[in-house]
């Protein structure tokens, strides 16, 4: 087992990883930018080192500096968390070249699944259904118009690289498509260095449901059931729950088996997530694979009792999974909400100083925090500052617990999306399980 791990990340996920490392008796190395010099993850690390200026390309994306710190501190492995360098195949390769264990899948697997176009082709070859659409990049807007006219509107225009909803847009006619192609191609190029675009058929009122998998280096692969992630804003998830109230046991098993089949087809190892779109008839289609720990992993931990970070570390150290599919049990229901430093109406970021922070308490409440009272939320990073997860013996109880927890959650000094989350939790459509991807547009005004 590793004695020292460097966490190549910041905020709540860095704290989350360090918490498990501490429980496992593993020493942690934290990194921080000039803007994060007083951040909670630095205070929790056993050692912490400045990695660069406030902007991500100066600090948390500075691969050479991160590897230099790892070498100087005697680090054995690097945990990338999610975002930033977590799905950067070049970073994973450089870790290997430096004699460090990258806590995640192999670089070639990351690269293969990092391209949505390539991942679609791979899944089709493996016999996994995908959303109807292209398996090649569009050369220009004219070709996009030609393809979509044959496919039919509405369509979903997508960037092949990256994630987080960047480079995605629903288009309903030629004028929208031409405008969206240019703007989204530029965004994809700016964010991911890859402007490749393609289109898929847009499924009306689908659900976004994903399957968590674990796979060791000996070929053993498990699915840890699903997470319902349909409530989104700007194609970014804000509410996640497990299990889904929509999926029946037969569909659940079929989706789990499809996810395992997909993972095995590429020789996947470590934690990963297969994302699906599910229509009203419970037909499911491969959307993409995230080759990392998901933001929403706590809901799976709550219903399974597993520590996914611990499992990641054990797998990366060469251990075999000590679980079988039959060993896994689900208990109760869990719901997670993402708390963003943003205006709840416009979704624009809201940087500033947190002057008051009061957290809800209770055995049914779990917190992931990247801030504390007096923290300065800067404009340099993703506005996600915390996550709140609640549990209940069933979905109704979990929703009631969520409403209570959100009522007690207080953050002052900055705007947050807590008012929006309270509105979701109180809405009858949410209670009824009517949680398709158009929930925000349909119900929240």
Count, residues in the chain: 445
pLDDT exceeding 90 applies to what percent of the chain?
A: 80
Give 28's strand partners.
Answer: 5
Tens of pLDDT, residues 58-70: 999 999 999 999 9
Decide if 292 is catalytic.
Answer: yes
Question: From CA 441, how far away is CA 445, in angstroms rounded?
Answer: 7
Question: From CA 253, how far away is CA 226, in angstroms rounded?
Answer: 10
Is 144's pLDDT higher than 80? yes
Is 255's pLDDT higher than 70? yes
Question: From CA 6, how far away is CA 47, in angstroms rounded?
Answer: 9
Three-state secondary-structure class, residue 356: strand
Rounded average pLDDT over 233-253: 94
Query: Which has the closest alpha carbon to 442: 249, 230, 275, 241?
Result: 230
- Single pTM value for the model: 0.91
Q: What letter does residue 319 receive in the DSSP assignment? A: P
Q: Which of 154-158, 159-163, 187-191, 403-407 has the lowest mean pLDDT?
A: 159-163
Show the tokens assigned to 33: 């930018």
Question: From CA 435, how far away is CA 231, in angstroms rounded?
Answer: 6
Report the pLDDT value the prediction gives residue 299, as an integer from 0 to 100.
98
DSSP for 196-226, written as a single string? -EEEEEPPSS-EEEEEEEEE-TTS-EEEEEE
Rounded average pLDDT over 270-286: 95
| Interacting residues of 129 by C-beta distance below 8 A, sequence separation 6+ | 258, 283, 284, 285, 286
Is 189's pLDDT higher than 90? no
Catalytic residue among 207, 227, 292, 366: 292
CB-CB neighbours of 2 under 10 Å: 19
Tens of pLDDT, residues 93-122: 999 999 999 999 999 999 999 888 888 899
Give 157's strand partners.
Answer: 169, 199
Rounded average pLDDT over 162-173: 81
* Spatial contact of 271 and 293, defined as CB atoms under 8 Å apart: yes
CATH numbers and ranges of domains, the chain: 4-103 (3.40.50.20), 132-201 (3.30.1490.20), 207-443 (3.30.470.20)
Residue with tokens 């970073």: 91
Is 136's pLDDT higher than 90? no
Q: How far is CA 441 from CA 244, 308, 400, 433, 445, in A?
A: 21, 33, 23, 16, 7
């Amino acid at each position: 087992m590793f004695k020292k791990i460097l966490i190549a990340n910041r905020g709540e996920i860095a704290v989350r990883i360090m918490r498990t490392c501490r429980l496992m008796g593993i020493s942690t190395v934290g990194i921080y930018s000039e803007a994060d010099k007083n951040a909670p993850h630095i205070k929790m690390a056993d050692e912490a080192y400045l990695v660069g200026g406030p902007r991500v390309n100066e600090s948390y994306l500075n691969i050479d500096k991160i590897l230099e710190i790892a070498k100087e501190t005697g680090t054995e492995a690097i945990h990338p968390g999610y975002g930033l360098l977590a799905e950067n195949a070049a970073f994973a390769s450089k870790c290997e070249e430096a004699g460090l264990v990258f806590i995640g899948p192999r670089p070639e697997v990351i690269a293969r699944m990092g391209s949505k176009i390539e991942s679609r082709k791979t899944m089709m070859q493996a016999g996994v259904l995908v959303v109807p659409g292209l398996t090649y990049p569009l050369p220009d807007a004219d070709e996009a118009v030609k393809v979509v006219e044959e496919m039919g509107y509405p369509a979903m225009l997508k960037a092949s690289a990256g994630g987080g909803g960047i480079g995605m847009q629903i288009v309903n006619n030629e004028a929208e498509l031409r405008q969206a192609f240019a703007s989204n191609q530029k965004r994809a190029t700016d964010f991911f260095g890859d402007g490749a675009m393609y289109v898929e058929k847009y499924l009306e009122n689908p659900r976004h449901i994903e399957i968590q998998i674990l796979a060791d280096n000996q070929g053993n692969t498990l699915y840890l059931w699903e997470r319902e992630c349909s409530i989104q804003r700007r194609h970014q998830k804000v509410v996640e729950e497990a299990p889904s109230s929509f999926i029946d046991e037969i569909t659940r098993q079929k989706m789990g088996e499809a996810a395992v089949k997909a993972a095995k087809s590429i020789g996947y190892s470590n934690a990963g997530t297969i994302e699906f779109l599910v229509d009203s008839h419970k037909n499911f289609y491969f959307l993409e694979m995230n080759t990392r720990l998901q933001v929403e992993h706590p809901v799976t931990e709550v219903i399974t009792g597993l520590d996914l970070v611990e499992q990641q570390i054990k797998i990366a150290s060469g251990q075999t999974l000590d679980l079988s599919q039959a060993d896994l049990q689900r208990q109760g229901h869990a719901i997670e909400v993402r708390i963003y430093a943003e205006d709840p109406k416009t979704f624009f970021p809201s940087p500033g100083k947190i002057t008051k922070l009061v957290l809800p308490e209770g055995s049914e409440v779990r917190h992931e925090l990247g801030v504390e009272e007096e923290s300065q939320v800067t404009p340099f990073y993703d506005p996600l500052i915390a996550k709140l997860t609640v549990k209940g013996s069933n979905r109704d109880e979990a929703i009631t617990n969520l409403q209570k927890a959100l009522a007690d959650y207080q953050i002052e000094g900055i705007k947050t999306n807590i008012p929006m989350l309270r509105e979701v939790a109180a809405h009858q459509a949410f209670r009824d399980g009517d949680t398709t991807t158009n929930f925000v547009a349909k119900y929240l005004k």
